[in-house]
Amino acid sequence: MTHRDISSVLLAFLLVWFPGCQSYKDQKDKLLDTPERGTINISADESFKPIIDEQVKVYESNRPGTKILVQYKPEAECLKDLLVDSIRMIIVTRSFSEAEKNFIVDSMKISPQRMVVARDAVAVVVNPLDEDSLFTMEEIKEILTGKFGKKLIPVFDGVKATSTVRFIVDSVLKNDSLTPNAMAARSSEGVIDYVANNPQTIGFIGVSWIGNKNDSMQLSFLKKVKLAHLESTNLPDKYVIPVQANISLRRYPMVRDLVYILKEKHVGLGKGFADFMTGDRGQLIFEKAYLIPAQKDFRIRPVRLRE
């Protein structure tokens, strides 16, 4: 064999060997982390804890080799986790911006995926002793800005960084400022407890904390507070509560999306969980929790049988 032949063989060997070495970690990840096994960390908006807990519980029970560790945080903290390597997925109420996507692609060499999995609403709760539980959106805005005739202090699951506050500021207040008298509870459950014990307050929480009449805990919440009726967006002179039909048909004025953002280089546990939430089983879990499934339509339609 000539010197040139030996060099050619060595070059071919190196071309095969070094890419293999460089991709060893990726190959190992693919073996240890699949939709059927592995452990991942995700972060989710605290407003959706009841429903995400249920999704994880069902997924893990059907795939015993998996473990999904969820960190519940204010939405702004979840969005910061887009840049944290150890967090594979976030679940929030908005998608990533083009700038955020480009930054993830440039810095982490991952193209993030996103999808709306469900729709929910911001529910308004008042103290049971409060006789006034019908509000126009103009009155809600006056309460939020401190201009309402009757003293009602708004209470949130935090006065900044949460998805509920962001929705209120972006979609309800728009160019106005939230009253400095607004109060912050530690959690959505904390909002319910505070409003239950303080008659001159009004709470704003995700409907997944209070909308499921089949959940004993949520039924106990409804005994503590009263769900307010808001002026409908498309039914003149009607006041509605955030039940599924009113959310689906946009009759209720404060509807928002629930979105997953996935960062994964391979088809791993994150992709498996994402597919589960958008598949029949996961979408049915959203539906039974009184949210609106975004990817499946479970409404019953009349059919005509042929004689």
Q: Is the pLDDT assigned to residue 153 strictly greater than 50?
A: yes
In a domain, 303, yes or no: no
DSSP string for residues in 89-123: EEEESS---HHHHHHHHHHH----EEEEEEEEEEE
In a domain, 127, yes or no: yes
Provide the domain limits for residue 159: 120-256
Q: Is the pLDDT assigned to residue 212 strictly greater than 60?
A: yes
Coil, helix or strand for 165?
Answer: helix
- Regarding whether 183 and 109 lie in a shared domain, the answer is no
DSSP string for residues in 70-87: EEEE-HHHHHHGGG-TTE
How does the average pLDDT of the chain come out, rounded? 87
- For the stretch 258-299, pLDDT in tens is 999 999 989 999 999 999 999 999 999 999 888 999 998 866
Q: How far apart are the first and last CA of the chain?
A: 83
Distance in angstroms (rounded) separating the CA atoms of residues 71 and 78 = 9
Would you place residue 66 in the very low, low, confident or very high pLDDT band (cuts 50, 70, 90)?
A: very high
- Regarding whether 268 and 171 lie in a shared domain, the answer is no
In a domain, 304, yes or no: no
Coil, helix or strand for 39?
Answer: strand
CATH number (domain holding residue 86): 3.40.190.10
Distance in angstroms (rounded) separating the CA atoms of residues 196 and 41 = 34
Coil, helix or strand for 305?
Answer: coil
In a domain, 302, yes or no: no
Burial 183-203 (b: 16+ CB within 10 A, else e): bebebbbbbbbbbbeeeebbb
pTM as predicted: 0.82
Q: At what angle do helices 216-224 and 188-197 cross, to 10 degrees?
A: 30
DSSP string for residues in 286-298: HHHTT-EESS---
Domain count across the chain: 2
In a domain, 307, yes or no: no
In a domain, 300, yes or no: no
Rounded to 5 degrees, what are φ and ψ at 29?
Answer: -60, -40
- Regarding whether 126 and 251 lie in a shared domain, the answer is yes
Q: How many CB atoms lie within 10 A of CB 49?
A: 18
User: 73 and 93 in contact (C-beta within 8 Å)?
Assistant: no
- Regarding whether 250 and 148 lie in a shared domain, the answer is yes
- Regarding whether 17 and 99 lie in a shared domain, the answer is yes
Beta-bridge mates of residue 118: 258, 293
- Regarding whether 155 and 91 lie in a shared domain, the answer is no
- Regarding whether 110 and 15 lie in a shared domain, the answer is yes
* Residue 42, H or E segment: strand 38-45
User: 20 and 260 in contact (C-beta within 8 Å)?
Assistant: no
pLDDT the model gives residue 307: 38
Q: Is the pLDDT assigned to residue 35 strictly greater than 80?
A: yes
Would you place residue 24 in the very low, low, confident or very high pLDDT band (cuts 50, 70, 90)?
A: very low
Give every CB contact of residue 176 below 8 A, 6+ residues apart in sequence.
Answer: 141, 144, 145
| Residue 200: DSSP 8-state | T
Coil, helix or strand for 159?
Answer: coil
In a domain, 298, yes or no: no
Q: In the block, which residue shows the tokens 């460089």? A: 22
- Regarding whether 237 and 125 lie in a shared domain, the answer is yes
- Regarding whether 170 and 130 lie in a shared domain, the answer is yes
Distance in angstroms (rounded) separating the CA atoms of residues 107 and 208 = 35
Rounded to 5 degrees, what are φ and ψ at 98?
Answer: -65, -35
- Regarding whether 168 and 142 lie in a shared domain, the answer is yes
Distance in angstroms (rounded) separating the CA atoms of residues 101 and 258 = 18
- Regarding whether 109 and 14 lie in a shared domain, the answer is yes
- Regarding whether 20 and 8 lie in a shared domain, the answer is yes
Work out the average pLDDT over 15-21: 45
Nearest in space to 128 (alpha carbons), one of 203, 210, 219, 199: 199
Q: In the block, which residue shows the tokens 């728009």? A: 174
In a domain, 185, yes or no: yes
- For the stretch 216-263, pLDDT in tens is 777 777 789 999 999 999 988 899 999 889 999 999 999 999 999 999
Q: Report how far Cα 302 is from the mean position of its chain's Cα atoms.
A: 32
